[in-house]
Structure formats: C-alpha cells, structure tokens
Amino acid sequence: MNYLSNTTKDLRRKSLHEELTQTLRDLIIHGSLPPGVKVPEKDLCDACSVSRTPLREALKVLASEGLVVLEPNRGARVSLITPQDMDEVFPVMGALEALAGELACRNVTDDEIREIQALHDEMLGHYRGGDLESYFSVNQRIHEAVLDAARNPTLTTHHRALSARVQRARYVANTTPARWAQAVQEHEDIMTHLRARDGDKLAQVLRLHLENKLTAIKQFLGRRGGVTGG
C-alpha cells in the first residue's frame, strides 16, 4: 500500500504548491508586490513557512503567466506593465470572453442566471457604497461564473492563463468615476443579454467591456510615461 501513501504525499505537496502560487499571485495582482520590484524570496519563505524549492516552483508558474520575470542567478522580478503588453493580452482576452458569452447563453441554467444576478446586485451595492476593492472582487466572480456556464474546459484553461495579467492591470490603473460608471452600465448590459440568452449581443458587450478597459489602462500608462513599475 506504499503507493497510496506516496499519492497522499503528492496531493499534499500539490495543495501546498497551489496555495503558495495563489498567495503570490494575489500579492502581485493587488499591488503588494508592485511591477518592477525584485521578489523577496527569503522574506516570503519566512512568511509562508516554506523552503526556497516550492517558492521557486510557484515563481515558475507565475512566470508562465507573465506576472514575473526569472533572471538567471538573480532570482525573480515582478514584470512591468506596458502598453505593448496590454495590446497583446487584451484582444486575446476579449475574444475568449466573447466566446464564453456565446457558449454561456447556450448552456446556462436558470439557477445559474439567478446566482449571477445576485452577484451583480451585490456588485452594484459596492459601487453605490464606493467600495472599489469589494466591487473588483465580486466583478471577477461574475466573469468567472459566466466562464463556468460556458461548459468548456479548454476555454477555461486559456482564459485563466491570461486572467491574472488583466486583473493586475485593472488594479494598478486608477479607475476614474467616469470609467467606473461606464463599466457598471456595461455590466447591466451583460446581465440583460445573459437573461435573454442572446449570445451574439452578450459576446459584443463582453468584447467592448475589455476594449474600454484597455483604453482606460493605456490612458493611465500614458500619464505614467508608458510603463508601470518601480
């Protein structure tokens, strides 16, 4: 029965690896580890009570997602956010979101629509209260719920590979009151088309949502000289 013991150990290691990777991902997305900063490996190891080996494995995953750059013999550095990077990522993400919208309208259940509507209503409450952090959190859950409703694991895999870069840019760039109001109206349109199960219109508004987000981020980067970093 040794193979069962080994399998259990592998699962525990996998769980630790995934939790550590998500912890580092969140630190980067939310700006606790800002663009351009060197990743403080020793401090992170101490804070997370792990050795350098699982930390470096987690950094490899984040490098594949474009969140960090591995520097030979120098550790890792949080990647910069540039207009060129955003021009590369956002059109692809927009296409994936549009496809998710089309498929969701074919496959979503009534219960799922009610759940997404409840999230939407919660998000509106955060908007009215001016709570941007909570708004972003629920906003992300809405997009993930639409993605889940698409019932396409391949789409989900590719979407999640790019999602962190989009989320980080959104957190780093200042959200103006005008853009926030525009985004809320876009989400109202998303719900309208989802409830109607109109895949074409939902795809259009999801793509537009990403295009407008890209415009706002690039405007912010322009004010910062084209690169966000330390």
Domain ranges of the chain: 2-78, 83-223
Q: What is the mean pLDDT of residues 179-200?
A: 97
* pLDDT score at 9: 45
Q: Which fold has domain 2-78?
A: Arc Repressor Mutant, subunit A (1.10.10)
Percent of the chain exceeding pLDDT 90 equals 82
Q: Which residues of 97-135 are buried (b: 16+ CB within 10 A; e: fewer)?
A: bbbbbbbbbeebeeebbebbeebbebbeebbeeeeeeeb
Q: Confirm if 159 and 149 have CB atoms less than 8 A apart.
A: no
* pLDDT score at 173: 80
- Per DSSP, what are the bridge partners of residue 228? 81
2-78 against 83-223: fold identical: no
The top-level CATH class assigned to 83-223 is mainly alpha
Asked whether residue 159 carries a pLDDT value surpassing 50, the answer given is yes
Q: What is the mean pLDDT of residues 162-185?
A: 91
* pLDDT score at 5: 46
Q: Where are the alpha helices (DSSP H) in the chain?
A: 2-29, 41-48, 52-64, 83-107, 110-128, 132-149, 153-172, 177-195, 199-223
Q: pLDDT-based confidence at 13, cuts 50/70/90? A: low
